[in-house]
Structure 1
């Protein structure tokens, strides 16, 4: 299957693990269990411990807690659960995105707080917004709720006004989206995912068995690679995308892996 020596970042894998399985565990996940589950995808114990510590310090995503048996572990913060719930709507979407218009984020940050301007731009880009003009960012309208949650969590909402609407010209919308987003770069991200994971799905389709540890490993690595793509790619309506858009194929590959491997992987994860 996947060569686990070609290793994603341990911190990203920990977030992926909690998103896929850890949040469904009753109570905190013991540190020893985190080490076991990350070892299956090639992460050693010191890397797990240091990555968990950074997640605890920097983002407040993980909170230290004791299990019912008294073992040291970590549970998700309320903010982390909100992030994962918001992400589910993108990551596990099975239907093509509807054409519901646009959400605009218009912001103004005083020069004395220009660091917040940098954070704001970075977060909007990370949510999949394109740049329509300086200080004016645009995304499909369905992203407005997640955008609101993100800006409020970061206390940036005071600098931003959000609007919903439609594009009325003057350039055709198909032409305009090519300025708002770098579609060629997004397509390359999808092609990279396909290059690594389409063959994994093909290999599973030739098998009648689904061993839990193998399923867990391949699913976690695929999910870790996939979950970033719905943020790089805002999910534009098909009419605004080039023909034979690779995002359609990469979404189908991920969905195939999810359907085949997720539940078997849960057995190995103890969920």
Structure 2
């Protein structure tokens, strides 16, 4: 489970930056000097930026490219762009799930000789938002089927998994079963942590005590970096299956409001640092 201590690492902030501002229509690379300046705004020093960029480059997510004026820079690889585009569907989701949509089940069996793949499967299904219905049987809302299928194929794990779609027919009430399949108190705590950190920020901007384009950029990047993990830790279940005081809807509303208020204001700061037409 994700904790606050794991948030706002240099590498995570760089990924969040590229997700928010590094996907222009012309795929222009972000100059290294500008990236260092922009990450300094959120408290990341230059050596940490260079080290994190090197790791992302080794993973094939960033590509070294020259800018139009010949400066060193980094652009997203096709794989990184695809991962970010996939993430958008969760991070910026607006629709409420319906119980009638049903569930997707992942049933897997991995030979003992390849047990490292068993661990990878469990880890990846958990990161996709699956809960554990029984040993070797994982469950998630049916809308996650396509993303799950694509992820398992990309990781070479599809040979070990069968996927099914269907409804929960009992014997226990579905709301009670959901409380066994997922650690709802732990997920609720993540939403509460997000709200504690970012709801006051939203309140300040709404009351006019916000600030400059740089302030908007800083507040938005921190909010995005915190929020983008939550739609994976939380499968976003139908409201009738959740406790009446569930904080997930409120935290989603806070992030959406911050996105609408700050993302474009923050882009002014990015344009000033990079000299490019950030969209």
TM-score range, shorter chain: over 0.9
State whether structure 2 residue 116 is matched by structure 1 residue 115: yes
- The aligned runs of 1:25-104 (5 Å cut-off) are 26=26, 27-57=28-58, 59-99=59-99, 100-104=101-105
The whole-number CA distance in structure 2 between the counterparts of 1:87 and 1:205 is 28
Q: How many residues were matched structurally? A: 265
Which digits, 9 at most, give the CA deviation of each residue in 1:50-96, with x for residues without a partner?
01111122x32212222222222211122211111111111111232
Which digits, 9 at most, give the CA deviation of each residue in 1:143-172, with x for residues without a partner?
111112211221111111111111111111
Which digits, 9 at most, give the CA deviation of each residue in 1:89-113, with x for residues without a partner?
1111123223311111111111111
The whole-number CA distance in structure 2 between the counterparts of 1:40 and 1:97 is 37
**Given the two structures, how large is their TM-score scaled by the length of structure 2?**
0.91
The question of whether the paired residues in 2 share the 8 Å contact of 1:7 and 1:42 is answered with no
Query: What corresponds to 1:23 in structure 2?
Result: 23
Greater alpha carbon shift after TM alignment, 151-160 vs 118-127: 151-160
Q: Which runs of 4+ in 1 moved over 6 A?
A: none
Query: What corresponds to 2:162 in structure 1?
Result: 161
The whole-number CA distance in structure 1 between the counterparts of 2:33 and 2:193 is 33
Query: What corresponds to 1:179 in structure 2?
Result: 180
User: Structure 1: which 5+ residue stretches go unaligned?
Assistant: 1-5
**Given the two structures, how large is their TM-score scaled by the length of structure 1?**
0.94
The question of whether the paired residues in 2 share the 8 Å contact of 1:219 and 1:261 is answered with yes
The whole-number CA distance in structure 1 between the counterparts of 2:150 and 2:77 is 15
The whole-number CA distance in structure 1 between the counterparts of 2:128 and 2:67 is 34
SS in 2 for 1:192: helix
User: Structure 2: which 5+ residue stretches go unaligned?
Assistant: 1-5, 272-277
The whole-number CA distance in structure 1 between the counterparts of 2:94 and 2:128 is 19
State whether structure 2 residue 238 is matched by structure 1 residue 237: yes
Query: What corresponds to 2:143 in structure 1?
Result: 142
SS in 2 for 1:24: coil
The whole-number CA distance in structure 1 between the counterparts of 2:21 and 2:217 is 10
The whole-number CA distance in structure 1 between the counterparts of 2:168 and 2:260 is 37
The whole-number CA distance in structure 2 between the counterparts of 1:204 and 1:149 is 39
Greater alpha carbon shift after TM alignment, 9-18 vs 204-213: 204-213
The question of whether the paired residues in 2 share the 8 Å contact of 1:65 and 1:75 is answered with yes
SS in 1 for 2:23: helix
SS in 2 for 1:86: helix
Query: What corresponds to 1:133 in structure 2?
Result: 134
What RMSD, in angstroms, separates the aligned Cα atoms of the two structures? 1.5
The whole-number CA distance in structure 1 between the counterparts of 2:174 and 2:98 is 16
SS in 1 for 2:106: strand
